Structure 1
């Protein structure tokens, strides 16, 4: 049987994460004068720009003043790179790390560390109560009321654990609840997910001595490993602290799990044959087998703690080379069961799976180190550089799977947001309902440490909203009868609806290319012999689209800019009219969105080019919801006809990541792009800028059909004539 432990620890399971702290050889206080790896930005505690350069090009628009793709050098203790620790985002301002083992000394730890996401400083947490034993390969889940739930893992003696610990963040106190039911077998490198106060546990690996052959000789087969990949699923009811029975499901470890729309989803990891899988599997949780059937009082009792001393005090156990006590896994595993657990049967709920065979944008699980996360209707795949696995620039990047259409799309290359081959990322931390993903790792080469030395020194925050991804994605769909948006749509831009405000915009053709000089036409109108006109704030009527009839009440409720303009009693307030120097189709689609909350394809939003125009207005007026809707559609629906327009509009809106994606798309399908109406309507300046996107050494080559010169064609014709003769 193949070993479950690779020869190098650089391949880290993405479900687990960083640190634990140890003796002086494990961490050291970072010196303020120590040299810094080029490319990592240090955080200035006074809120200034900090020192050093930005390692990856970004827009500076991200969370907490950190731009997209900016690597930040953490402060505080310098953490050696641990394997199979756990990392959990708690709220919006901290990440907690627990356990793991040192990849060089194999020492296992049970320390609690905190990363302050405002200052990016690591600190060792003084913790109290019933402190868990050292462990690795466990899972940590954020529960309600600021609690962390630790389950399973294995200790330094390779004993697999199935115990539960609860860490109260506010008091930094550990407790161990009294558990009933049938606990699952001890395991490591499993997956857990929290849903309706139930902690679902699935898969992982454990020790199976029965699998060891009778004639096994450790000297002849030193690499034999009696570990088994588990295929069960069960859950712990956190209201009553009762384990359910176990069912057989899918053999998997190092995978991840989420719950979405009443289904449990798993992705990634490896199976019994040690092969990396890209199969997506879901389980229906609405089946009655997962319903609560026992009537028990809620709440739970805890076991008395071994000690109330601080975990950083002199009596703290840093290694687990102690005799087994009341909390030890071996005593726990052998003394609690009164009757044997029921044999697992197949889970009765329906299971479905999707296997992705091939495609340009489908990420290859066999290349690089992958981290996965589900956010809303999107499964994200962060494919990062790995030294011990085959990986190239083409393999790295951020890919997204639309779970409604089951279609993969590559959102960004690894060199744009993940640092390319300059950084090695070990852990991904994302809260279930968060929009900021944090990658933790280190540079491939660190000047002050030397090549090969790895510390968890760098943090890369990625704002998922930059790609139109949110945990509760706004529908943005066409309103249907019975919805408020449908009723409001019936009075939009209608003469008999009591409209009391008018919005004007440019004709579509007046806003395209260089055919119309609206500024020149406007200046000539101001200098006419008639003198000042009543509508001197408008361009000439021949470049304006039809009036858009609106209602002040809806504009006031939905549009912050209009509310400020109206309350300040500006000229538009008195005239009951507002002019927006944007294409008529875009402005009308914008007003329709204010009424219906929809940018779905239809009469008011005819194509993706209109959505690109809406993105400009969303950024201009700081409407985050509209921006998220637009980015979601533009990343998912970018096509040949719209690529040139999306590239231009993304530049106006300041969306550099989208602009670069559109540029790469346009250059890839250049022959088709230049034949579209969108390309031919670009201004001269935009055409030149789009051509500048080509690399200095770039050249145009033939497409699928090999191009032949006239001389080659003539030569081929002569050869054919000779063959005929």
Structure 2
């Protein structure tokens, strides 16, 4: 969608609005789509577009009796133009919202009491979880809640006025925070901003063309990194630029809120670098099963397809392979190794050796088998990655028994407890699954030592006070129970 969106605010009559206005960058026309659902009119909120949704956070609203601060986030579907229900978030207005990846970072503003705050929290837009960020080092003290925030890579940049107790003045300041380190750092650009009024700040990847230039000051002559106006210090234009809009004339109306001059500063001259993301994982993944430079092959069980690999990579990442190669075993001399696992499991295992990652979208059974391989070959990081993926993405009715068995075999005790508790909580539905039947039938008759061991561990984990109860209900039913960590207590119904 090649458009720019505007949502609500206050009009010339100080009326709060809930309008959605769309400007098409292709046709250069304005439109008002028909919106489904109702939300409170507001202003001093933030509106951020991520994929095909617009996230409207907080703001100031009013009813017939009073004005109040909203502690909600609404989501507008930009395909159906339908508002979501309200999601509870910390109350804020006059704050800033910055999108980094799939996280929306909310900084400063005013709270429900009208007090200026300087805290930082984020919202994971994939789960809609609010994530507080305590333990931030460094400090930003804004003169008032109004400020600007932008993003450079994984760094949050904040611009605004701050009280300088040493001079008794309120100069402009610029701070930056690495969102991985959560540490504020003040950038040294005060001398660039000391002359004039600066009413707007943003970051662009290319410098604006044909903007009005500001004559260089003595501060710039002393330190060329404090570039002002349109004096380009770097013709490449590769680095982002800080853009400030305002007026540097000594005689100007007060208060002044217009834009006459542009101050452009290359961020790299301030020691801020936008490091491109690493391509190592991508390039290493491309090497796997690439016959051109391969010097070894892995053959999975029951597969005629060989997987082409590299001795150096496997030796550095897989101690078992290194020991095998050093011992002069027949596999090392022939350049071929047969593994007893199926192709998809072996390929996922080798992908980890090349990229240090496990794809969360892999089938549950594949991740379970890779976790078992990790335990066999003492690859602790791989085992924990698999356990985390199985718990977060795959623990469901039809997979919990398989995960429990794999956790038992892998000696992954945390995952074993989590999956067993899940089975207890959902025993009625789980008892209908094929994996449940196989665990009891094959484990009970001893046809599989691993399934037998898993069955014994499952039985050992059942509390002594566990019981099944049949209770009368509004419909004819057979009632089972679920486990809450202390015993079988909550009823589960199966209609008959």
Q: Could you tell me the TM-score, scaled by structure 1's length?
A: 0.32
Indicate the structure with greater helix content.
Answer: 2
Q: Could you tell me the TM-score, scaled by structure 2's length?
A: 0.45
Answer 1 or 2: higher relative contact order, Cα 8 Å, separation at least 6: 1
